[in-house]
Structure 1
Amino acid sequence: MHIRFDVPADPAYPGRVAAALGSVRLRKFGYVGAALAAVGAIGFAVSRGFSWGDRVSSLCMAMVLGGLLSMMYSPWVQWRARRRSGRYAVEGAYDITDDNIMMRSGSESGGIAWDGVARVRDTPEFWIVYVGRMPATVIPRRLMSAEDAETLRAFMADRGLLVGSA
């Protein structure tokens, strides 16, 4: 297998990559925030019926507020990444073989050996490549030809790397 394709200097592309990687890394803040907000709301509702409720209700309201702020952290980080990433738009390319994924962006280049890839998650626009538990890079499916995308999908499925869609 040898797949090569170019990445145009699109100002929106780095933001989409940042959002895709950020959604994976920041998802836990949403879960923690929802749990904090739920526990705080339940605690606030329960504390209103007791004599000690005034002391506990301020703690519960702080938990609700902290939970809401935690849930808003991920969208805020993604919005900032998209807003700032336009200046990072440079031409690049991917060169994918049976052995590795090589990426070039401007004058920088790097690669990931398939042996080091733990899994690949399928999203609507990208394949998110994980090294260990962390997302390392993305492969933009929309910039590839349909034949190359199907070849790569089959390769990843044969290696047992491809996991469900997001």
Structure 2
Amino acid sequence: MDFTVEYTPTRDEVARALGQGVKRQLSALRVALPAILVLAGAACAAMGGIGLAAGMLAGAVAFPVALTWAINRAARRQLAYLCVPTTLRVTGDGYECRTDQYTTALNWSMFGNIVNTPEFWLFFIGKQCAAFLPRRAFDPDQQAALDAHFAARRSTGPSVT
């Protein structure tokens, strides 16, 4: 596998990729914190602390909204840096991403988890989403080659889902 493609990521595309990556990265927190707030709120209500209970229940409702807002805000700060004409060279060892502002080379071996979505391949180092490749940048044969490569890594190495 060795191919080069050129594309320009759109603002919406980058925001969706980063949002999906961070949501997967923070999935336990997204569930655990509201659950803890609901349980603590119920306990406070049972002990007569209605004001504190209401605050905790409101926090449980507001947290997912606030988290989504924070993720989108962080993504927007990176849009100018990421939404530029980009050249990707993909090989069996990894990929290189080149723009007028930067060049980044990443080996597949550094990613412990590669998540396939209908729109992206999301790359994780530990639990942190570190990079993504948009499927639309590749033709169907290249997409199939990447899917096969990641499937082969799944059977011999780190997790690819």
**TM-score for the superposition, normalised by structure 2:** 0.81
Paired residues, number: 157
CA contact (8 A) 2:44 2:53 kept: yes
Q: Deviations over 1:46-97 (max 9, x none)?
A: x1xxxxx33x333322321222232222211233245555534211121111
CA contact (8 A) 1:12 1:82 kept: no
Structure 2: gaps (5+ residues): none
Structure-2 change in CA distance of 1:100 and 1:85 (3 Å)? closer
Secondary structure, counterpart of 2:118 in structure 1: coil
Identity, % of aligned positions:
22
Q: Which residue number in structure 2 is paired with residue 128 of structure 1?
A: 122
CA contact (8 A) 2:2 2:90 kept: yes
Structure 1 residue 163 corresponds to structure 2 residue 160:
yes
CA RMSD of aligned residues (A): 2.4
Residues 105-114 or 19-28, more deviating: 19-28
Aligned residue runs from structure 1 range 27-42, under 5 A: 27-42=27-42
Aligned residue runs from structure 1 range 15-164, under 5 A: 15-43=15-43, 47=46, 53-54=47-48, 56-81=49-74, 83-84=76-77, 86-88=79-81, 89-160=83-154, 161=158, 163-164=160-161
CA contact (8 A) 1:120 1:129 kept: yes
C-alpha distance in 1, partners of 2:72/2:133? 21
Structure 1: gaps (5+ residues): 48-52
Structure-2 change in CA distance of 1:34 and 1:13 (3 Å)? same
C-alpha distance in 2, partners of 1:7/1:80? 24
CA contact (8 A) 2:14 2:79 kept: yes
**TM-score for the superposition, normalised by structure 1:** 0.79
